[in-house]
Structure 1
Amino acid sequence: MVRGFWGPREESAEALAGRWKLTLDRLAGLLPVAGSDSDSGSRASGARPSAFRDPGSRSGADVPLTSPWTWRNVTASGPAAELRPDEASLLAALRAAQAADGWSDRTGCALRLVAEGAPGWKIEVSGLAGGTPEFLLQSMVIGVSSPDEAETPDAELLSTVAELWEPDFGGVTDDDVLDALEDDAGFAPDEPSVGWIGYLSPGRAALLPEDLAAAAREDVSGGGALLVLAARDDTEDVLRANLWLREAGALRPLPRPMDRAAL
């Protein structure tokens, strides 16, 4: 899973709809076989989509172009509803979330969207953003289920979250890493951490030791650094990297009550 977290940052529903649209567009380009659209049958049969130049991609390389996916908007009450990834539809979904019982502008606005494509592929995107809570982090989490033999563009997915949502910290991780961080390294569930690939905001990246290998660090458009810290299946190396970053001060929590989005 790909995760990004940040502190209070008030944003309008219109601004959030714009971030959501860019995120879903980028996902459709990075993982064309994973979504649901009118071309899913041709993709499953081996047809290749056309491509476009994504100005926001890390490499500037061509990204497969797909038709807009149909997502399912999963809410706390009522059945999931189909949602097209255009700004008008996303804005309507955000405003519906704001109109739900118990919603608070301090907490932020939550959406949970799911798409399924070729056999074995599923994407779930959950976000909580736009609020100003003093103790609850805002977040963007992308879960990708894929066939065992498939490769996912981990760094590009994390870069998407970093560039489009401007988090304080984030990473590409899984349940094994999260369990090990809590059980073996003493990390609290809401304490900053990273995965085998991590992201640190500019303030956190400034605390990195100077001897960090250049090959392990890549600057992100808009600020901050992407860090390649371990192989995907090397939980021990991920633990060591988190302990090292915590000792350097790059993973210290935002002061509570929180009054800023990033360190």
Structure 2
Amino acid sequence: MRRVVRGFWGPRQESAAELAARWSTTLDRFARLLPELTGTWHTVPASGSGETIRPDEPSLLAALRTAQAADDWSAADGTSLRLLADTAAPGWKVELAALAGGTPQYLLQSLVATIVSPDDAPGLPDAELLAAVAESWDPDHGDVGDRAVTSALKKEAGFRIGTPSVGWVGYLSAGRAARTPSDALPDRRELRTGGTLLTIAAPGDTASVVKAYQALKNSGALEPLPQPLTRPAL
């Protein structure tokens, strides 16, 4: 089964050292939640060969600086880093990719984790994985879902790619959470970011996700950040 765990936010200038700290926290949290990971990662550059790195801040800082040394790097857009995990079990693939630290006016910053697991694997801790992303990167919004969720939202609720959404689990920054109808989504948890984690449905239950998306959209909680982008969160 394939799922994506995502967080998105607006412009927030950060140094390579600050990004390395966020990356290290993320990888540490994922390692605790996914015992199939061995603890080593491979960089996946846009061109050329990657390297094996440990999930500590010095190693990640070096990888980020290597990315920034590329000819096409733009400080304004942010620093892109893509990591593929070593796994201890067959049938698993875990990849994390982030674009962060920049201040573009029309491009969201993001962290996207793609997790492929065997069909007979026990249920994954989706809510905790999204909480790890939220508490590591302090995004504006985030979600956990798959292609079926995206397809259902597009067909049944008018969802457009590139706009805020939810999946089986959703995350809303404090400003978005303040617009959320509490009676419609009672299974919620405030995180230390001030934002709210919403557990909406079990994997495969697209009908409940569509219903929650419509309620949140109608309340204004899924309003896109105004462009040109001027702040990291609503």
Task: Give the TM-score category using the shorter length.
Answer: over 0.9
**Number of matched residues?**
229
Instruction: Look up the SS of the partner of 1:188 in the other structure.
Output: coil
1:101 is aligned to: 71
Tell me if 1:189 matches 2:192: no
1:102-251 equivalences under 5 Å are 102-117=72-87, 118-150=89-121, 151-214=123-186, 216-251=187-222
- Structure 2: distance between partners of 1:256 and 1:79: 36
CA distance in 1, matches of 2:86, 2:120: 17
Partners of 2:78 and 2:154 in 1: CA distance? 27
**What residue number does 1:83 align with?**
53
Identity fraction in percent? 57
**C-alpha separation in 2, matches of 1:147 and 1:83:** 25
> Would you say the 8 A contact 2:185–2:198 is kept in 1?
no
Unaligned runs of 5+ in 2: none
Worse-matched range after superposition: 116-125 or 91-100 = 116-125
Query: Secondary structure at the residue paired with 2:84?
Result: strand
In terms of mean alpha carbon deviation, does 228-237 or 6-15 score higher?
Answer: 228-237
Q: Deviations over 1:128-177 (max 9, x none)?
A: 10000111000011111111122211010000011110000001110111
- The runs of at least 4 aligned residues of structure 1 exceeding 4 Å deviation read none
TM-score by length of 2: 0.95
The two structures, once aligned, show a CA RMSD in angstroms of 1.1
Does residue 74 of the first structure (1) align with residue 44 of the second (2)? yes
Matches of 2:64 and 2:227, distance apart in 1 = 28
Three-state SS of the structure 2 residue aligned to 1:32 is coil
- Confirm or deny: 8 A CA contact 2:12 2:102 kept in the other structure: yes
Residue 20 of structure 2 aligns with which residue?
Answer: 17
TM-score (norm: length of structure 1): 0.84
Letter in 2 for 1:25: D
Matched residue of 2:75: which SS? Answer: coil
How far has the Cα of 1:213 moved from its partner? 4.8
- 1:55 aligned partner: none
Provide structure 1 residue ranges, at least 5 long, that are not aligned to the other structure: 37-68
Q: Is the 8 A contact 2:83 2:96 kept in 1?
A: yes
Give yes or no for the alignment of 1:4 onto 2:7. Answer: yes
Q: CA deviation at 1:222?
A: 2.1
Deviations 1:157-213 (A, max 9, x none): 000011110000001110111122223322221010010110000000000124245
User: Closer, same or farther in 2 for the Cα pair 1:176/1:210, shift >3 Å?
Assistant: closer
The separation in 2 between residues aligned to 1:129 and 1:223, in whole angstroms, is 20
Give the whole-Å Cα distance in 2 for the aligned partners of 1:175 and 1:4: 17
Greater Cα offset, 81-90 or 179-188 = 179-188
* Deviation (angstroms), 1:233: 0.7
Q: Residues 21-100 of structure 1 correspond to what in structure 2 (within 5 A)?
A: 21-33=24-36, 35-36=37-38, 69-100=39-70
> Which moves more between the two structures, 80-89 or 160-169?
80-89
Q: State the 1:88 CA deviation.
A: 1.0
CA 1:230–1:90 in structure 2 vs 1: closer, same or farther (change >3 Å)? same
Larger Rg: 1
